[in-house]
Amino acid sequence: MVHSKEELYTQQEIELSKIAKALSHPARVKIINILNKRGICITGELVDLLPLAQATVSQHLRELKESGIIKGEIEGPRTCYCIEPKMMKKAKEAFTKLFSKLNCC
């Protein structure tokens, strides 16, 4: 029997995969770790702490920002980044739900 393939993906599947994608590079996980520890951080500090060029760090920051996990506030010549708690809570719940049903073989 052939099933319809019209439904594609659920909202949960799309949202979870987007959060996962945001965390799918060690540099971005490190940025989250640093922000978790420090609370806030400017770009230059992150550049010093990461093994990447300034342009590349900025690119990773943009990806995290676009995923909604972090936010950046311009403060004079710098940009101050921090975790976006609402999105982190959402992400935490999404992963907790995914990992909660371990009725395996």
Binding positions for DNA, rule: CB under 7 A: 21, 24-25, 27, 42-44, 47, 52-56, 58-63, 72, 74, 76-79
Nearest Cα to Cα of residue 12 among 100, 94, 80: 94
Nearer to a copy of itself, 37 or 55 (CB): 37
CA dist 90 and 94 (Å) reads 6
Residue partners of 56: CB distance under 8 A and separation at least 6 = 27
Main-chain phi, psi angles of 102, to 5 degrees: -105, 55
Rule CB under 8 A: say whether 39 interacts with a copy of itself: yes
Return the one option of DNA, a copy of itself, none that residue 78 interacts with (CB less than 5 to 8 A, by type). DNA
C-beta of 78 vs 97, nearer to DNA: 78
CB-neighbour burial class of residue 32 (10 A; exposed 0-12, middle 13-18, buried 19+) = middle
76 lies in the site for a copy of itself, by CB under 8 A? no
Q: What residues line the site for a copy of itself (CB under 8 A)?
A: 1-3, 5-10, 12-14, 16-17, 20-30, 32-33, 35-37, 39-40, 48-51, 82-85, 88-89, 91-92, 95-96, 98-99, 101-105
